[in-house]
Amino acid sequence: MKSSLEVRPIFHWTEPRIKGHFLICFLAFLLERTLEFKLIVDHIHITVCNLKEAEKFYDNLLPYLGYDLNLKEYTKIPEHEYESIEYHHKIISIGLINSRSQFSNEQIHRRRPGSLHHLAFFAESNDEVDYLYDKIKSVGAQIVSSPRFYPEYCPDYYAFFFKDPEGIKFEIVYYDKSRYFE
């Protein structure tokens, strides 16, 4: 397979075919580079059993994570049995989606195929992890583990884990990304 910088002989002899081949290769190169550097996660939607109860919890939690409740948005599409509450943020929005009635008795399990295992928020420092730990405890989150280092991930990986009232797992983490990524 060719990399984005390798070339190999092409077997086109007429000028229109050569120009067409070059154009296709160039457009593929531009698309590859655009996707490589521009594709980011815009939003994540989490299906919950009780939308109203989840809203109460997330209204308390998300302001500590930088979300402005004035940017909260409601959507309802009755013909699809769909209701959502979306908390918008310039980096990533989080939506809460009602479950369909046929799934109302199902239990959430993060290890079930197709499920969200956990969602991690990146903090600016270990001190911010500790600060958020105290705040998140105060909103009634179930603490899974208090702040500590996780050297099995990387030597300076400092995090804590918690669950929302429905059992969805979250993480607040800090590590020096500049040590691992350019």
CATH code for position 125: 3.10.180.10
Q: Looking at the domain assignment, is residue 154 inside a domain?
A: yes
Q: How many CA atoms lie within 13 A of 51 on its CB side?
A: 18
The C-alpha angle 28, 31, 32, rounded to 5 degrees, equals: 85
- In the chain, how many domains are there? 1
pLDDT at 109: 75
Q: Looking at the domain assignment, is residue 130 inside a domain?
A: yes
Domain holding 178, by residue range, is: 108-182
- H-helix or E-strand spanning residue 176: none
Q: Looking at the domain assignment, is residue 180 inside a domain?
A: yes
* Alpha-carbon span 151 to 100, nearest angstrom: 40
pLDDT at 32: 74
Per-block mean pLDDT, blocks of 10 residues, the chain (182 long): 53 70 72 67 87 95 96 94 94 92 79 82 96 94 97 96 92 94 79
Q: Looking at the domain assignment, is residue 59 inside a domain?
A: no
